[in-house]
Amino acid sequence: MSSLKQETISGVKWGLLQKLTMHPLQLVYGMILARLVTPAEMGIIGLTAIFFAVGNQLASAGFGMSLIRKLDRTEVDMSTMFWSNLMMSFVIGSVLFLLAPWFVDFYGQPELLWLTRVSSIMMFLNSSAGVHWALYQCKRDFKTPAIVNSITSIAGMPLCLILAWQGWGVWALMWQSVFTTCLNLTIVWWISPWKPQFIFSKDSFISLFSFGGKLAYGGILHVLYSHASTFIIGKFFSPAQLGLYSRGIHLTSTIPATINGILGGVIYPVLATVQNDNERLIPAYRMYIKMSTLIIAWMCMCTLSMGEPIVNLLYGKQWSGCVIFVKIAALWVTFEHINSININLLMVKGKANLMVGMDIIKKIISMTILLISATISVEAICWATAIYTQIAIIINTFIVGKLSGLTWWKQQKDYMPYIIWAAIACTPACLCTMTNWPIILQLAAGGFSSFILYFGGLHIRHDKAYSEVYELLRQKFASKWLPPLKTKSR
C-alpha cells in the first residue's frame, strides 16, 4: 500500500499548503466583510449560491468522475464529455435565466432578478473547465489546482471588500464570484495542455454517461437538497435570519469541509487505481475514515464548546444570533465526512445505480423531516439536518457493508472513539467560556487545553491514525523540528 500512501501524502500536502495559505487570509477577510455587510444582505446572496453549486456539481461529480474512473480514457472520451457537459449546463443555465422573474415574485426581493441571471451565466462558464480539472486529478497532479485556486481566491478578496466599503452590498459578493470564476477559467485554459477537439462520439457518451450521468443526477439532487433549507428560510422567514443561519453553518463547516474536500479530492482518484483489489482498497478506506475523523472531531467539538466567543471575536455583536446555529451545526458536521467517504467507495466500485436509488430514498426522508421542521423555527431546520445526517450514515453504511463487509457497527468502532474523546477533551474549553476572562484569553486557554488533552491522549496510547497524520505532517512540513514517533503495534 506504499504507492497509495505516497500519492495520498502528495495530494494532502498540496491541499494543506493551499488551505494553510488561504485560511489566515480568509479569516481576516471574513472579519472585515462581516462588518461591511448585514445579515440580511448575506441572506439574499445566499439564495443564489445554488446556481454555482449546480455548475460545480456538473463539472466535478458527473462527467469528471467518469473520466477519472476510466483507466483507458481516450481523446474522443474527453472531447465528448466536454461538449456534453457544456450543453447540459447551457440548458440548465438558460432555464434558470428565464425563471429569474419568478424568483423575484416568490421571495419578494427585487435584487434577485439579475443576481439570479448572472449566477446562471457563471454556472455555464464554470462548466467549461470541468474536464480540464478532472484530467489533473487523473494524473494525480494536485499541485496545479491548489496553486490556481489560491491565486484566484486571493485576487477576489480585495475587490469584494472595496465594493462592500463603497456600499455595493450584495453585489460586492456577486462581483467577487464573477471575477474569481472568470480568472480561474482563464488560467486553467491557458496552462492546461489539453484543449477540446470538435469530436463527439455517441458510443463514448453512452459509455461514460451510464456512470457519470447517474452521478451528476445524484449530485444535483444532493445540491438541491442541501440548499432546500436556504430556500425555505428565505421564503418563510426573513433574509436576516437566513444570513445568520448561513453564517453559522459556514463558520462551523469551513475547516471540516476543507479537510473533507482535500481528502475527497485525493481519495477518489487514488482508490480508483485499485478499485478491483479489495486487499489494498478496504484498509486504505478505513484509514481515511480514521485520519479525517481524528482532526474533524476535535475541531467541531472546539467550535461547539467555544461558539459564542468565536462569533463575537470574528464577526461582532450584530452576528451574535448565529451562535445557536454554530453549536447545532457542530453536532452534524462532525459526521458529514463519514457519508462522503462512504459515497467515494461506492463511486470507486462503480455502483452508480445503487447511489441513485439511495439518494432518492434519503432525499424523500430528509425532505419530510425538513418540511416538518420548517413549520417550527429556523433552529428546528438546523436540528433536522443533524437528524438526517445520522439517517444517511445508516443507509450508506448498510449498502457499503453489503459490498465490503464494513457494516455500520464496524465503522462506528473506527470513528466514534475519536468523537467521544474529543468531546471529553473539550470540556475545559467549555468551562473557560463561563468565566469573565477576555474573549482572547477564553479562546487561547480553551483551545490550548483541549489540544493538549486530545492529541496528548492519542500520543500516549500510540493511536495508529494519529501516528499516520503526525508522520505525514512531519515528513512534508516539519522534519527539522518534529522527532519521529516511536510507535507500537496495536
Q: What is the pLDDT of residues 38-91, one digit of tens each?
A: 888 888 888 877 666 665 565 544 566 677 777 677 888 888 888 888 888 888
Q: H or E segment at 371?
A: helix 352-374
Alpha helices, DSSP H, located in 426-438: 427-432
Q: Report the C-alpha gap between 97 and 88 in whole angstroms.
A: 14
Sequence-ordered list of residues with C-beta below 8 angstroms from that of 388, at least 6 positions apart, any chain: 362, 365, 366, 369, 370
269 falls in which pLDDT band (50, 70, 90)?
low
468: nearest Cα among 459, 456, 460: 459
Q: Are residues 265 and 202 in the same domain?
A: no
Residue with cell 443576481: 115
Q: Report the C-alpha gap between 85 and 131 in whole angstroms.
A: 9
pLDDT more than 70, % of the chain: 78
Domain count, the chain: 2
Q: How far apart are the first and last CA of the chain?
A: 19
Task: Based on the fold, state whether residues 1 and 29 are members of the same structural domain.
Answer: yes
Note whether 116 and 247 are same-domain residues.
no
Mean of the per-residue pLDDT values of the chain: 81
- Examine the fold and report which residue of 169, 202, 226 is the final residue of a domain before the chain moves on: 226
Cβ atoms of 155 and 179 closer than 8 Å: yes
Per the CB < 8 A criterion, the answer to whether 438 and 312 are in contact is no
Global pTM exceeds 0.85: no
Top pLDDT among 466 and 455 is at: 455
Same domain, 211 and 327: no
Closest CA to 467 of 449, 445, 483: 483
In the predicted model, what is the mean pLDDT of residues 316-322?
87
CB atoms within 10 A of CB 11: 23
Report d(CA 94, CA 88) in Å as an integer: 10
Looking at the fold, whether 359 and 411 belong to one and the same domain comes out as yes
Q: Do 217 and 248 fall into the same domain?
A: no
Residue 156 lies in a domain: yes
The answer to whether the beta carbons of residues 346 and 399 sit under 8 Å apart is: yes
The x, y and z cell numbers of residue 100, run together, are 429569474
| Amino acid at position 138, single letter | C
Q: Residue 328 pLDDT more than 60?
A: yes
Task: Assess if residue 232 is contained within a domain.
Answer: no
Q: Are residues 387 and 456 in the same domain?
A: yes
CA dist 423 and 447 (Å) reads 13
pLDDT at residue number 306: 94
Determine, yes or no, domain membership for 328.
yes
* 167 and 275, same domain (yes or no): no
Cα→Cα distances 44→32, 33, 36, 231, Å: 19, 15, 15, 10
What would the mean pLDDT of 8-26 be, rounded to a whole number?
Answer: 62
* 481 located within any domain: yes
User: Do 221 and 274 lie in a common domain?
Assistant: no
Domain that holds residue 269: 240-490
